Structure 1
Amino acid sequence: MTSTASSVSSEQVDFSALLPQNLDQVIQGWLSDDIPSFDVGGLVVGMEEKKAKLLMKSTGVFAGKPFFERVFTLLGCTVEWEDGIAIEGDHKQININDDEKICLAIVSGPVRNILRGERTALNTISRCSGVATLSRVASDRAKSVGWKGYVAGTRKTTPGFRIVEKYGLLIGGAATHRLDLSQMVMLKDNHIWSCGSIEKAVKLARKAAGFSQKIEVECQSLEDAIEAATHGADIVMLDNFEPDQLRKDAETFKNKFPHVLVEASGGITTETMPDYLCKYVDIVSQGKLTQGYPCVDYSLKIIH
């Protein structure tokens, strides 16, 4: 029998309140991309009022609810979520051998419009849920060893789809890191090489950022991190360090700059992440959380 037992966060936060005012415009762009010309299938089915069931077909964290709903709202349909079942952040365990899958919602409206939104809506929640599921695994692994820092995604997101993948990180319990180039200042190796030195780059960045933005510097060595912090960096990223060296250098750095955050990054996976964790590391970031995640399987079936 299909189980809805789950590891639901004790703090249910409505992250949909974060979504931007232009969300409808973004979603309309997705719909237009999928129907750039004639919709022959829509002609075939017509405008008769129908209902369809949203079914979750594989194990994972349910995420992407506001995107799914807005797709159908824009198409003149309504979505009725199943009370107590369609909870974002809820981890659903699906037995693939069961014919019965979890019904999360009923979509009602003209059948042509339901089918116009079907693939766009399913693509969105399958990917959002994939990010949330991988984020939950990573966050839980960090917690299991008693670590108190942040597991974060990166800016390695799909162009045009960033808002969904960043949302999935939050639902899964991870931090988003920077949302875009205008949020926080990150000075990477190309910035440093182009500017000439870490000192020059940090000082110039501070003139523009003022007091309202943090500055992070990507560092290739302990010496780089000390230079960055000395000249005003708020966060140092120890990039592509071996785990033993990272923990050693993070301790040395924190003893000298206890109020500067330390981020570990570069080739870290959920499997190797525990090797990097210690009380001197505040953040561990993984590009894989938004670049290479497995999708969760959903379907939308017309009730007949």
Structure 2
Amino acid sequence: MIFFTTQEIEQWINEDAPLLDLTSRLLHISSQPSRLTVVTRHPVRLALTEEAGRIFELLGCRITKQIASGEDVPAKTVILAAEGPADALHRGWKVAMNLLEYMCGVATRTAELVAKVRECGNIPLLVTRKHPPGLKKPLLKAVLAGGAYPHRLGLYETVLVFDNHLRLVGGREALPALLAEMRAAGCEQKITVECDDLAQAVQAAEAGADSVQFDKAPPEQLAAWCSELKARFPGTALLSAGGVGPDNVQAYARSGVDGIVLSSLYHAKPADLGVTIELLPGS
């Protein structure tokens, strides 16, 4: 479970409406008992409905319906409903709407690509940390709701050696000694080395890398490399990274890799949701 603190959600609210809903006040509707409903306009994989609900609860409203993150719903489904004073509902409206549309869009695109990959085999989609600063937690919850997994949550979590590291320590020729030292110090960690071609991958595997990550290799080229590497280094995991989208994800899934690393899910089209605010019956 991805946990959001009350302070984080309050910051979302205060970013848009730190003082009051001026329009509702000038219309003299601030205290009118009202109902807000959020409805899908197309099939959606839901994400962050719980946090959207907490926005309204923090504003003094009552949640009357909420469908959980990770659920698939058809068009015209009420996914969230809240009751409370009109100014509170208006104050939370756009904050919750922006959160839901963006994150449900990411979850929906993720679910679509996960389904495509599952047609080819049990290969995970691994999502990078190439997201705008400040959005790690909501985007992580969205991709998890869509069925993908994090590739790296941060620099503190995994060991991934790039060319930019190797240029500072003597190049790829230094890998055998470096990996031996790194393995001794980080005995609980697996080590991945990014490679551009087969020769670099063979060198990394011979040096003791636990996994090799190919950067932007075409799937047809990757298939030939994976075949040779799996024959020679069956214990080395093989990853593809970069250039993956809906049109080629199955080609990558059939290439022989053990995981597909991508960030394009963060650029998914937002979900199309509708919001209605109306007076409660009898008000």
TM over 0.5, shorter chain: yes
In 2 relative to 1, CA 202–26 (structure 1 residues): closer, same or farther, beyond 3 Å?
farther
Matches for 1:130-279 after TM superposition, within 5 Å: 130-145=105-120, 147-198=121-172, 199=175, 202-203=179-180, 205-206=182-183, 210-278=186-254
Question: After the TM superposition, which of the residue ranges 23-32 and 166-175 deviates more from structure 2?
Answer: 23-32
Matches for 1:1-304 after TM superposition, within 5 Å: 18-20=1-3, 22-36=4-18, 39-44=21-26, 45-81=29-65, 86-94=67-75, 101-145=76-120, 147-198=121-172, 199=175, 202-203=179-180, 205-206=182-183, 210-278=186-254, 280-290=256-266, 292-304=267-279
Report the number of matched residues: 274
When Rg is computed on C-alpha atoms for both structures, the one with the higher figure is 2
Q: Which residue identity is paired with 1:298?
A: L
Matches of 1:215 and 1:69, distance apart in 2: 41
Unmatched 5+ residue regions in structure 1?
1-17, 95-100
Superposition deviation, residue 75 in structure 1: 1.8
Superposition deviation, residue 133 in structure 1: 0.9
Task: Report the 3-state secondary structure (helix = DSSP H, G, I; strand = E; otherwise coil) of the residue aligned with 1:249.
Answer: helix
Task: Report the 3-state secondary structure (helix = DSSP H, G, I; strand = E; otherwise coil) of the residue aligned with 1:190.
Answer: helix
Superposition deviation, residue 76 in structure 1: 2.1
Superposition deviation, residue 37 in structure 1: 5.2
Matches of 1:134 and 1:127, distance apart in 2: 11
Superposition deviation, residue 279 in structure 1: 6.9
Q: Which residue identity is paired with 2:2?
A: L
Q: Which residue identity is paired with 1:172?
A: G
Matches of 1:25 and 1:41, distance apart in 2: 26
Matches of 1:41 and 1:212, distance apart in 2: 57
Identity %: 27
Task: Return the TM-score normalized by structure 2.
Answer: 0.87
- Counterpart contact for 2:37–2:277, Cα < 8 Å: yes
In 2 relative to 1, CA 201–269 (structure 1 residues): closer, same or farther, beyond 3 Å?
farther
Matches of 1:150 and 1:124, distance apart in 2: 26
Q: Which residue identity is paired with 2:5?
A: L
Matches of 2:90 and 2:30, distance apart in 1: 10
- Counterpart contact for 1:202–1:228, Cα < 8 Å: no
Matches of 2:274 and 2:78, distance apart in 1: 10
Residues 248-279 of structure 1, C-alpha deviations (whole Å, 9 max, x = no match): 11121122222221111121212112222237
In 2 relative to 1, CA 63–154 (structure 1 residues): closer, same or farther, beyond 3 Å?
same
Residues 138-197 of structure 1, C-alpha deviations (whole Å, 9 max, x = no match): 11111123x111122221222211211111111111122112222212222322223332
- Counterpart contact for 2:125–2:259, Cα < 8 Å: yes
Structure 1 vs Structure 2 CA RMSD: 2.2
- Counterpart contact for 2:20–2:91, Cα < 8 Å: no
Superposition deviation, residue 132 in structure 1: 1.0
Unmatched 5+ residue regions in structure 2?
none
